[in-house]
Copies of this chain bind each other. A is one copy, B any other.
Amino acid sequence: MKAISAWALAALAASTALPASAQFAKSEDAIKYRQGALAVLGQHFGRLGAMANGKIPFDAKAAQENAEVVAFMARLPWAAFGPGTEGGKAKPEVWKEQPKFHELSEKMQAETVKLVAAAKSGNLDQLKAAFGPASSSCKSCHDSFRNR
């Protein structure tokens, strides 16, 4: 696929999660949606991790594609954690500690934007440097808000 333009990336960087106009008819729909979005994100993030950790050869083009999908997907799940959508793997703390949850979700989104910039550099060291903080941003949210 062709690369997404710098302009679009800047727009991504400037944007936050999709707005609350994103609504779900049933809580099951919201759970299915957020789990689906995070599964897609996780798959592409895992491929970047495999490159960053030397488990598969570094492929600059694939790294950029994967990072762009990660950054796009990173905006989506949050609107699906609205009131009344408790369940799935989400801990009740998601709804009890909303400011912290929002802060961590925004941190993660910001890290994925940096990840795209690093991947676009075509430099494995830059990818490695960006992958660590991005991975930590996933983990810190999972530790607080996701059941195992």
Q: What would be 19 A-B contacts, judged by CB atoms less than 8 Å apart?
A: A1-B15, A1-B75, A2-B15, A5-B5, A5-B11, A7-B8, A21-B59, A21-B62, A21-B65, A23-B47, A29-B43, A32-B39, A33-B43, A35-B36, A36-B36, A36-B37, A36-B38, A36-B40, A40-B76
Number of copies: 2
Q: Which of B4, B18, B23 contacts A8 (CB under 8 A)?
A: B4
Considering the complex, which residues of chain A in the window 55-78 have a beta carbon less than 8 Å from any beta carbon of chain B?
59, 62, 65, 69, 72, 75-76
A69 touches B62 (CB 8 A): no
**Interface contact A11-B18, CB-CB below 8 Å:** no
Q: Which 5 pairs from chain A and chain B are nearest by CB?
A: A36-B36, A1-B15, A2-B11, A8-B8, A36-B39
A37 in complex: contacting residue of B3, B17, B23, B40, CB < 8 Å: B40
B residues in contact with A32, CB < 8 Å:
39
